[in-house]
Amino acid sequence: MATTTKASEAFQRPLAEQRRRHLPASAALGWLAAGWRDLKVRPLDSLAYGLAVFLVSVVVVWSLFALNLDYILFPALAGFMVVGPLVAIGLYAKSRAIAKGERISLAGMLFVRANSGGQVLFTGAILCLLMLVWMRAAVIIYALFFGLHPFPGLDHVATMLFTTPVGLAMLLVGTVVGGLFAAFSFAISTFSIPMLLDQKTDAFTAMGTSISLVWNNLPVMLAWGAIVLVLFLACVATGLLGLIIVFPLLGHATWHSYEAMK
């Protein structure tokens, strides 16, 4: 009888309380440390995964310049953060295997069999669509401020943005709009992809759960988001070369953030 009463009370608790984990912001550093430990287990597999991501990124950047689409380079880099949680699914699989005392090959990481495989693809399609919408929005924002004036090129973009009133205004608006896209994509993807790998559920339930967990654990999730952003900017500063190490590190750490929120 007492067990039934406790179960009933737990069911009647507000959803917000069920999703709240009372984790300090410093827990995000613990996830990063756990990710580093996983990376050091058979590190060549994780680094090869990161190398593959780096090489694909280089090809995409080269293609943008070859097709004279360099004006969407920065939106494209930001868009990578939108789909990053999907691309990292193989790293989640490795961390899950390590926790179970199992071994997973690089091939197993690259061709993951998720418990909700079709739903992973559906969620991935939503993230890709969100990335494309953001890139289009960035082009529209540029057009609103500069009209048909051609893109000045990367050599002069900093001067345009930081020394002209119109450039500063566009930078402000672009940052706000981009921040909204980033926050939404972060909220729907940071736990949904690991959840779909780990459990049998549907995409909308996974994304809804992810949003709820992020919203009800804001201090630690803001800290985690800041860590991801700083490390990604460090990768950009190294010509994306840092992705070889940083991407696997963040992928493994993301799995531990999911485990902490389960």
Instruction: Report pTM.
Output: 0.87
Dist. CA 258–CA 255, nearest whole Å: 5
Residue 209: strand, helix, or coil: helix
pLDDT of residue 150: 73
What is the spatial distance between Cα 54 and Cα 232, in angstroms, rounded to a whole number? 12
237 and 42 Cβ atoms separated by less than 8 Å? no
Give the closest residue to 38 by CA, choosing from 84, 90, 94: 94
Q: What is the mean pLDDT of each run of 10 residues along the chain (262 residues)?
A: 42 53 91 97 96 96 88 86 93 96 92 87 93 89 81 74 85 88 92 94 94 93 96 94 97 96 86
The Cα–Cα gap between 91 and 52 comes to 12
83-98 confidence digits (pLDDT tens)? 999 999 999 999 999 9
Nearest to 246 by CA among 225, 223, 229, 260: 229
pLDDT tens for 23-35 read 899 999 999 999 9
**Of 9, 13, 84, the residue nearest 50 (C-alpha):** 84
